[in-house]
Amino acid sequence: MPIFGRKSAPEPPANVDDWRPQHFGRRFRAIRNAIVEPSWEGVRVLARLSGGHTRFTDEGGVDCTDEFDAVAAAITAAALAGDFILDGFLTVEATQVVAGKPMADIQTPTKGQVMAQWIAGSRAVRASPPKRHLDPDRPIAFVAVDLLSIDGSSLLDVPLLERKRLLDSALTPGELVRVTPFVQAPGGSFVTTWRGLGFSHLAYKAVNSRYTPDLRNNDWSILPMPVK
C-alpha cells in the first residue's frame, strides 16, 4: 500500500479512440525547467491520422472532421508518418497578419538564439499586448502542440521535450498545418515578439512532463502575458 494512502496516477483509456486533450492545471505553480509557448485560441482537438485519413475529435469527444475537412486533408498530405495522434488547435490566429507581419513568421528559436535570450531576456523591453481583431475570413489552420502517438507507439510516458522533437519530424508545416514555437522559460525577446503579434497568454509546460489524456496536469499552466 502506498505511503499515506497516496493514489497512483490514473491509467489512460486503453482504447486510443477514447483519448481526449489533456487539461491544464487549475492554478499556476512554480514549474522548474519549463518551456513557454504562445497560448492559441480556437477549438482544441486531437488530430488522428490512420488509414490515410485524418479526423478531429474535440475536448468533448465529438467528431468535428466534416466542419474542417480541408484542414484534415492538409494534415494527411503533410504527414511524414503512417499514423499519429496530435494535440493542437484549429484556429484563425495562425493565418492572421498583425502589424504587417504574418503569424506564419513566428518560429522556434535556434539553440544559439536560446542562449542569447537567456543572457539578454531580462533586459527586453516589455509593453502591453496590442488589442487584436481576428479576421474571420482568414483560413483556419491546425497548430500542433504535442504528439501523443506515432506509428502505433504511445508516447504518453515520453518526456515533453522528446515528444516535441518527434513532432518536428512527423509533419511538413504549410499554410494550413503549423507546429507551435516554444522556447526555454522565461522566454526573453521571443515572448516580446509573441506579445507584439497580439498573444495575450502563455503556456508553461515542464520539460519532463508526461501526457495524461482527459485529465488535469499541474505540470502545464496558462498565464497572462507579462507586461513588465
pLDDT of the residue at 113: 39
pLDDT of the residue at 104: 54
pLDDT of the residue at 86: 98
pLDDT of the residue at 190: 80
Mark the ranges of the chain whose per-residue pLDDT is less than 70.
1-10, 27-30, 97-136, 187, 228
Q: Give pLDDT tens digits for 155-193.
A: 999 999 999 999 999 999 999 999 999 988 776 778 888
pLDDT of the residue at 46: 98
pLDDT of the residue at 130: 42
Please give the model's pTM, rounded to 2 decimal places.
0.81
CATH class of the domain comprising 31-209+217-224: alpha beta
Q: Give pLDDT tens digits for 92-104.
A: 988 876 544 455 5
Buried b (16+ CB within 10 A) or exposed e, 131-170: eeeeeeeeebbbbbbbbbbbeeeebbebebbebbebbeeb
